[in-house]
Structure 1
């Protein structure tokens, strides 16, 4: 299968590293014009330089904006008025006992993990409707189905992603605009590396993360963490023209952790 998104503009939120960066790289390889976002200009510039090195000839731009609130989306929309593809990837996670999660943390997780996707989708949907073509993807998580006891606030927001993506897909029935959610399992992003092996090298982080999967996600069929690129492959597919009959779906890249057929 050859995926060609030449002429399409894709915005990937939270894409200076990790899964978001891998998605941006994958989309750039298809010929799409890719817009990277991050909070700090230095991080955006670094990611752009890295992507251009990895994908010679890639058409990539960057916007520095804090997407934890509405003001950041005004910055993004002013800089990039139109998009054919929106990947709602920006998000946060943290291990925290339920009784220690303050109201402010619940609100912070809601604003970043849920409202960022709402705001980005709402901002760019009218342009997609005018063309009658578009792709919206929410990066959820297997934690949205298997709510982790030590990250209840995170799991709650990822379940919210599933509800919004399904409802938005239904609201666009009969159009050529698709909306889907992709559910990664444990993935060896930089954030996970920092969590499981702070200050360690990649090999150490991978070993510790794989041990975590075997002990705490024992239903995993692959018995290891995924790579950001493995998650990105699914996202690139659902952004493609070939995925025109895939919408309203929750597509798992969880290594088989979730014990359901659907």
Structure 2
């Protein structure tokens, strides 16, 4: 965790990442708009970085609390929220695996970062279980993953020289990214594994989507199109994002499920 915290505190600007990856941001927002219904909802954005989605949802009138491992991300969120004329309900420097102190129940919980960086299944499960404990019955859990095919798509996008093909294909075997390989420690998951993992909890699947799908490798060119053409390609991407034949072509996977706790422990 110290390595991951340092990565976001000292080396990586998470706020500007979604300026470069507009397709990911826009398609994800469409799904949030489609599934998060109601007004003035209590939302907990766990591992939400500098708050791109927190601020977006706060602008819609929701009460959003943001938790992140990076102090720099938390401070950036405060600045950006003010610039956008909103204030989040709370800004918390914390860990997705240390949710025991929190007791409030939320209508929606976003878990759109921690599952990238928890390399052990039991850690990922603990993060989901911790989030579910804080989620109201009938509430929504939104989770994101990086696909094990993402390194292939990223290499295809940039066409950087490939030293060894196994360096890219190895992610299909174990999904592990070591901290010295261009990104901090991470777990890139097989899409089918991600779907099965989330459906192993007391959740009713609403959405399982491959965010970028066929547009991923042409992202840079698509971002440069005029607004009319850009929106048409975005529509195509959105309509294909739940095509199971194309899920593996995406770099990011999105799961949205409704808490359906038969044990009724709330």
TM-score by length of 2: 0.47
Q: Which has the higher strand share?
A: 2
TM-score by length of 1: 0.48
